Amino acid sequence: MKQPVDLRPDHAKIVHEIIARYLPAGVSVRVFGSRAKWTAKPHSDLDLALKGKEPLARSVLGDLAEAFSESDLPFRVDVVDWRTVTPTFQAVIDRDAKALRWPIVTLGEVASEITVGHVGSMANEYVPEGIPFLRSLNIAPYRILSQDLKFISPDFHKRLKKSALKPGDVVIVRTGKPGVCSVIPNWLSDANCSDLVIVRCGSELRPRYLAYWANSLAAHHIGSNLVGAVQQHFNVGAARQMPIFLPLVEEQDRILSVLGTMDDKIELNRRMNETLEGMAQAIFRDWFVDFGPVRRKAAGETDAVAIMGGLTLEPARAAQFAALFPAAFRDDDLPVGWSERPLDSIAEFLNGLALQKHPAKPGEPDLPVIKIAELRNGLSDRTNRAARTLPSKYIIKDGDFIFSWSGSLMAKVWTEGEGALNQHLFKVSSDVYPQWFYALWVQHHMPEFRLIAASKATTMGHIQRMHLTNAATVCPPNSAIEAMSAIMQPLWDQMIHNELENRTLAEARDYLLPRLMSGAVRVARESEAA
């Protein structure tokens, strides 16, 4: 496979080793002259241009020159500092030079094994408990999903030795979303799989580095090598031929220290939000569905901490919240002083527009169209655009609560930036009640709404506005809800903050990833950082 510049792989490795050892971070390396133009002879010089924010120290250039002269390279290496040459020479370099990137290899050259998960019927092999069995739906970029995880017996697992998984194995989805890739984590010590490409990396390739590559820069190769007339899939042969930039393992580790730190924080925020959402749902159910504090007071409980179910262990604070709940029920089993109201009376449900009637125009401001797919998966290159000349109420902003009432019913706080509200989506808002209150009521009724949508004899199930009216909510006095927000609002705000932080982290990661993995940007060594 042709390298970006005219260097043999073994020679390129020596060059990269020297650069990694002596060149400061933030300095780009470009090749110019005959080896950039592919007109070089075997012993032609290698001309390198270094460009940092400031002129390089003479000691750096001296160390590089000495290292190259003492190396096993069979040709001379000339190094120039772009900042110190004439403007004319700078222009020549900028016109003709090519970035010195990491050597390109195929995955088959650096993997110790590439195989495929079990292919065959599994209908009679699943058991309630046993060895975790991964399918394509359990693989997400950089993580394993435990939702709808299947299990097989230990005996069947032993018969499927070829597809057995262990921590550090890399799995790549073959069908459905080909190319989605993750590393088997340590907590999944014993597992098996079907319909996945399994890669066991050799000593020159870090598993997590491969996962970053497959989920990003390998997209073109994967998309161009799908096979199958009925259902396209990514096969083992195409995986072996996947081209990959391969820096030294030490450089891979430095790259992973940057990308991995961001992804670890994203995962931490995601898990924190799962916990926060679980807490908010549990508190909401105890207060407004099961009426826990009211029932405990009605049963004669006088200890405020016990009345609040241990939500807060501080007696004075518990007493403040316990006072918000009545001590008796009405004849209709609602707490005294509370009222039942239709869901669509506590919030406005604004339906989106048919945005194909508002197309974006070249050269004019526009917005991404937020459809069901964007609500579920976020914005992508496939997201349509609409003219920005929409009424402002149809423009979604960070923090808006969006409810998909057709197709895949779901509701969430939007955190992907400004967008245009498409039909089949509600923007839910209220001038009276806090977002946590009406949003959790929507979530409470979601299972019922999904059943209604599933019962529709149409290709796209949906609910109607009458179903919002028929969905009952229970509302304390407004003053009580305002006081309850002292507990609920911080949980809600933290979840939104975490989602917004994850978007920022993901954008930074996606910006850096191709630059780090190609060698266009280097990570500082520990000695430099110190």
What residues make up the domain containing 427?
Answer: 343-475
Residues 113 and 45 in one domain: no
Looking at residue 63, which CATH number applies to its domain? Answer: 3.30.460.10
**pLDDT tier, 440 (very low <50, low <70, confident <90, very high otherwise):** very high
Q: What's the DSSP call for residue 401? A: E
Same-domain check for residues 89 and 181: no
Residue 50 lies in a domain: yes
Q: In terms of domains, do 91 and 113 share one?
A: no
How many residues are listed for the chain in this entry?
530
Strands (E), 260-358: 339-342, 348-351
Residues 374 and 448 in one domain: yes
Does residue 413 share a domain with residue 363?
A: yes
Q: Write out the two tokens for 448.
A: 């019922």
pLDDT for 462 beyond 50: yes
Strand, helix or coil at 217? coil
Q: Is it the case that residue 530 has pLDDT exceeding 50? A: no
Asked if residue 2 belongs to a domain, the reply is no
Based on the domain organization, do 181 and 229 belong to the same domain?
yes
Does 73 share its domain with 161?
Answer: no
Residue 317 domain-assigned (yes or no): no
**Domain final position from 100, 135, 156:** 100
Please indicate, yes or no, whether residues 388 and 463 belong to a single structural domain of this protein. yes
Q: Rounded to an integer, what distance in angstroms lies between the CA atom of residue 234 and that of residue 220?
A: 12
Task: Among 23-27, 141-145, 316-320, name the one with the lowest average pLDDT.
Answer: 23-27
Res 121 pLDDT > 80:
yes
228 found inside a domain: yes
Largest CA distance in the chain: 97
Do 420 and 439 reside in the same domain of the chain?
yes
As annotated, the active-site residues are 45, 47
Distance CA 274, CA 423 (A): 29
Residue 1, pLDDT score: 46
pLDDT at 464 over 90: yes
- For residues 369 and 394, is the Cβ–Cβ distance under 8 A? no
Distance CA 480, CA 323 (A): 9
Residue 258 lies in a domain: no
Q: Which DSSP letter does residue 30 get?
A: E
Last residue of a domain, one of 68, 100, 132: 100
d(CA 421, CA 390): 10
Domain C-terminal end among 82, 100, 118 = 100
Please give the helix or strand (H or E) that residue 514 lies within, else none.
Answer: helix 478-518
Residue 359: count of CB within 10 angstroms of its CB = 12
Say if 285 falls within a structural domain.
no
Residue 119 has pLDDT above 80, yes or no: yes
Together in a domain, 352 and 459:
yes
Structural domain total, the chain = 3
Q: Which residues contact 471 (CB under 8 A, 6 or more apart)?
A: 342, 343, 344, 441, 445, 448, 449
Give domain status of residue 419, yes or no: yes
* CA–CA dist 222, 236 (Å, integer): 11
Mean residue pLDDT across the chain: 92
Using one digit for the tens of pLDDT, what is the confidence trace for 163-222? 999 999 999 999 988 999 999 999 999 999 999 999 999 999 999 999 999 999 888 889
The average pLDDT across 396-403 equals 98
pLDDT at 461: 86
Tokens of residue 204, six digits: 């020159």
**Contact between 388 and 364 (Cβ < 8 Å):** yes
Q: Is residue 16 located within the same domain as residue 74? A: yes
Q: What pLDDT does residue 525 have?
A: 66
pLDDT tens sequence across 473-495: 999 999 999 999 999 999 999 99
CATH of the domain at 133: 3.90.220.20
241 in the same domain as 128 = yes
pLDDT confidence of residue 518: 80
Can you say how many angstroms the Cα of residue 265 is from the centroid of all Cα atoms in its chain?
Answer: 11
pLDDT of residue 230: 58
Residue 355 falls inside a structural domain: yes
